Structure 1
Amino acid sequence: MTDTFSFLPHGGLTGAEIRALDWSDTALGPPERWPPALRAALSLMLGCPTAMFLAWGPDLLCFYNDAYRPMLGYRLDTALGQPFRTVWASIWDEIGPLVDATLAGESQTLTDVMLDLSREGRPERSWWSFTYSPVLDDAGAITGLLCVTAETTGRVLGEARLRESEDHFRHSVELNPQVPWTCDPHGNVESYSNRWLELTGQAPGEPLGSGWAKALHADDVPWTMTVFANCLASGEPVDVDYRIRIAATGEYRWMRARAQPRRDEAGAIIRWYGVVEDVHDRKLAEARLRDMNETLERRAEDALAQRKLWADVFETTDALVAALDLDYRFLAVNRAYAEEFERIYGVTPRVGESLLDLLARDPAQREAARTVWSRALAGEEFAVVEEFGDPARKRPSYELKFTILRDASGHRIGAFQYAQDVTERLRNQDQLARAEEALRHAQKMEAVGQLTGGVAHDFNNLLTIIRSSVEFLQRPNLAEERRSRYLRAVSDTVDRAARLTSQLLAFARRQPLKPEVFDVGARLHDVADMLNAVTGARIRVVVEVPENPCYVLADPSQFETALVNLAVNARDAMTGDGVLTLRLTCGAALPPIRGHAGAPGPFAALAVADAGTGIAPALLGRIFEPFFTTKDVGHGTGLGLSQVIGFAKQSGGDVDVASELGRGSIFTLLLPEVEPPSRSADTRQARIGTPVAERGLCVLVVEDNLDVGRFCTQLLEDLGHATVWAHNAEAALAEMERVPFRFDAVFSDVVMPGMGGVELARRLRADHPELPVILTTGYSDALARNDAHGFELVRKPYSAEQVASALSAVRARRPIP
């Protein structure tokens, strides 16, 4: 009898299972019809001791060798001959792109990839290295793939444990206030902690060998090196004191270096282990102790020297010098201090007199002097600037420096004041502050000029189109086709002008928003198809959204506009070819951005990542400026990112940017997360959207602009409604009082002289709670800060369709018979 599986190697569990399986019902059919290429691949794979699997044919049916069987785990009983995607459905999101690339003819090699194989039916963390290679059929076409794989979990976890151990040791060393170090038998330093670099300011690597000696005081180097050399030669422990210069303060501090040798079995020194510790305070304490043991004769000599110093120095300086004991009595006062004290207070201070008694006639001055001197007498050393007398005096401002006064034994006996005239210095500081303010004003005016120029340029372009179109529309013999074309041009240009003002208001955070609670992930999926149309066919949009919903309170329209602006910038950065990744992370913290403090969150973080040209570091600080763009003329207004950051800030969030030249950019839009909407809100929204029978309404129009008022009333009448026009809020309230129940709705502007539209709407809601109020504005600071205060909002410039929609919305909330 002919062996249909003669091409299989003898032996092996997988070979036996292949022989035993009925292949008639599979896409491959009976083994006698299997192509030679498949037979050859199976023969090669089953005879190899390295773990491999083969996916063959359109369905990528699975074959594997014995070495691969442990990786299948609980899938082993059902994996043979099944589609590869079915077998590894749990990790298809990770390996699917690799399979697609391999079938496209690109071999794939990956090292230490973390995959959750769940071999025992429960989640597990494991790491793998593998190579995917295309497999050809008999005609030379790609018909499957061959994978050679090996598990590297043990090595990856071992290396991680090693890194953790090394990190633990490093932190133990670095947190030590002492400085551990080692050197070879010849005295060349081989290792040290970063604490030495922090203390000395030396660069990494500089202390190696004998470079550490460069940080020592020049007077201490010969002695230190002599002791060190003697210890290296004798093997005796190192114990030497020297001074190093502290980088942070520039002062020299005493250090003690100690070291012990480590020897091999033969007694030879193989390494020295040592520490350096700060002993400066101990040295000072020893010096103070020696001072306390001085004889009375020496203290007398010191007192004579101090009196000589007072006479030689303090009596020849323009500074005001005085000293008080702990009871506010003068211990010393120089001539300059006494003269200025008399000019200010009218009395002359003398040694032994009380400062507080001299100022007894002026309680306010007495209390001020007590307040400042009491700090010094309590042991605080400080400086303070104060003004004395009339500012027109020659020297009205002094800097007073206070230090502690001690006796020869070190006991605090009073305080010492040294006052210098700083009037001229303060005047110079005032002049500098005024100059800086003038510079800031000039920079602000320059920025306003740039903004104004950009707005004028764009609006003049739009007005040119409108004006030219209107002139042609006024011609009596204009063909209907051309009339329609010019009308469309006017309509499109008005839309572009509205978008331009919307972007400007968004940048200034003055855009009236209509915030709603929505799931960012769901909205992201809804917008993905539109982004494909925006970015073009050669850019692949990848959306990564977590399973759990992530809700924010924001204007959905502005959110989508911001997303489109970021996608368009990414498209241009990639010159229309590449992968655009939209990645949503929930529960994120707001990092510190552009000098602003961060926040713990939670925030929804939407990252828009491209693989484009990147942004130069010098330009990162300007990319959000209005009308700033790096694109060629005609390829961008420079307002896209202004809209994005304006929307983010106005919604309580921010935008973070990370970019690297030649590698791409990541713009992360962060918005505060909120609780999901309640069922009652969903029900109300559904009720709002329910169509109702419509009839003509009586609408009270409140508009102070005559042209807009005439247009609005005409528009409403063309929609089939009756109108009454009030030119301001006060007139509107008078109309309501005249016939309270004749109006079905109010359509009011927000920005008006006197009472504004928001206040009018509040009054009407209080007096007529069932009366619908629709607000309209092209800009309002109040609405920008607090949306529409619960009222329906129509943004200017509005269309007839938008007004009709708003009336339908309020009609749905309050059906009108």
Structure 2
Amino acid sequence: MFLAWGPDLLCFYNDAYRPILGYRLDTALGCPFREVWASIWDEIGPLVDATLAGENQILTDVMLDLSRQGEPERSWWSFTYSPVLDESGAVNGLFCVTAETTNRVLGEARLRESEDHYRHTVELNPQVPWTCDPDGNITSYSNRWLELTGQAAGEPDGSGWARSLHPDDVPWTMTAFSAALTSGEPVDVDYRIRVATTGEYRWMRAQARPRRNEGGGIVRWYGVVEDIHDRKLAEERLREMNETLEQRVVEALAQRKLWADVFETTDALVNALDMDFRVLAINGACADEFEAIYGVRPRAGDNLIDLLAHKPEHQAASREVWARALSGEEFTLAGEFGDPARRRRCYELRFTTLRDGAGRRVGAFQYGTDATERLRGQEQLARAEEALRHAQKMEAVGQLTGGVAHDFNNLLTIIRSSVEFLRRPNLAEERRTRYLEAVADTVDRPAKLTSQRLSFARRQALKPEVFDLRERVRGISEMLNSVTGARIRIVTEVTEGPCHVRADTSQFETALVNLAVNARDTMDGEGTLTLRLTCGEALPSIRGHAGAPGPFAVVSVSDEGVGIVPELLARIFEPFFTTKEVGKGTGLGLSQVIGFAKQSGGDVDVASEVGRGTTFSLYLPHVDPPQEGSEAGEEEADEQEVGRPLCVLVVEDNLDVGRFCTQLLEDLDHATVWAHNAEAALAEMERVPFRFDAVFSDVVMPGIGGVELARRLRKDHPRLPVVLTTGYSDVLARDDAHGFELVRKPYSAEQVARALQRVTGRRS
């Protein structure tokens, strides 16, 4: 409260008013009111004049710039001005009660913005978001449902939404809905609703996922309804078209009127190829999109794969997809396609087989529909599913382990039982043949099971190439500002001279960005981040693993953050382990970094001091720069040379496998020398270097591994062929054993023979 009194309106106030004065506090008491608030007199002057004229003034949420600390600031206030009378009854001053309402005004503004954002997100979405309780009673939905169906607000609540469905679709819809509520499985059901504006029925697709509490109980279902009517009609047209094409595919495609009526009037991407990848027919929409991306317009008779010759990566991907379709497989792909310079759309591509009247495959058919809005709508469901998948991963590990034991024990049971019968001397020849075939059929299946499990573990193949780290580090450093923010200073120190490595460039960039993001978070967005590249270093002993002399390239990322406490250093590379708040990190960043380093033949070291910062050092094997030009092509093997007996150095640390391998090679008329490890193999080579025609070596061995052995042999004996063998597909993930011939375990005699023929044929 304050009082402005007398002819000069001298200012007097209570303690609660003091903070409002700010920097004016030292001079305000007893000072004329106009001088105290000279900066805002244009706003409050009329209020003072009206009050002195005898009128009470009440104002709410008035915005004033009080500049209490000498800096402009926006604030909001409520005032009650009252005239004050002197002894004679004349107005001789004014009295004011005021309160600041800034927090409430700003809070209400934020609430309005949030509500407006929600309205635009939900109400303007062509899909219909909805929720229901665990019993299936609808509790919320967007106004889009009311616009589509014509139902009144509140009418869809509970089970009222079903009254908008086509009567024929109600039974199966409610059955599918009830089954999902009971099992907890996702809701996914198609049905027709009556559209209020036209009176027609349109096909819709409803999907939903449950949200669970800590005990696993369902607390609410979240879903969306999307219009799939056009896609349904397109699928029906496709089925009709296929029936026609199956009778006479080439003639049907030649009927221009049918093609124009069905496919030239749609935005879908329609294309048909024969068994040699030649275009049987293509509609305008698909040809336009292809031309926009690749600069060439496909026409009937063109070879689609040849048109992509200037885009090798796209050519390989297109060949793989169409080869699947031409082999008779029917499948659907979803992804982003289109000209990068324009707005890119997400298409759902469906591939089906074309057959002639006799049922023979004569080609494949593609039908692509625009799925942009549907895929964007599914992003909300995907975020909810991510949390669920996180919890399921650990459970999946246990299930995977049990599954491996179960599958392998089943296979070993077949092999063991068959071998027991084969040992019987009086076994009939017919039964002996049957048991031998059972063993032969069974031994291929463990390799397939192992491949499936490693695929589940996401040991994805890398695409290594030789590149200069200096250029890559500088390029990443320049783009990191957009990741780290303006308050973080990035310092880059790069070694002089070339520094080449052989690794997957995309995975390397991802690893470096992951380290930079972690550094940013530990510094709370402010500080210095240093990228440093050195070359020709040795690999130190890291986490108890033996070091290596190198040379290695080292990329280090240093921050000035809070550091890592010693007891957590041993866990930071574990998948899903994170010290960040819930929702701030997945715990997969450092797991990706160390996985990439290990698969690339290197490692990651970390040094940290609490309160002073952390340095991550990424070690990658240093390699020579790529050679300019291509080497001369290798001559074809002479058939007599390929089939001649060889002297093969076998390198295998497993005794049982070593005995079997040498016996197998001797049965193929080759002479063998068996070394139990790489060191022994190198000693044999030094003793009589010209003795051997080829080397057949395991990859995973104690000490020097098979790949390193092959490298040394290539360096010292460049014309000596080397064949590697392994049962662990992680080696394949490192670029097919780095250019050497490789035979997967379990292998057959024929596979070994072919591999030796290939490498010795190339040598000749």
Normalising by the residue count of structure 1, what TM-score does the alignment of the two structures yield? 0.28
Rg larger in 1 or in 2?
Answer: 1
Normalising by the residue count of structure 2, what TM-score does the alignment of the two structures yield? 0.30
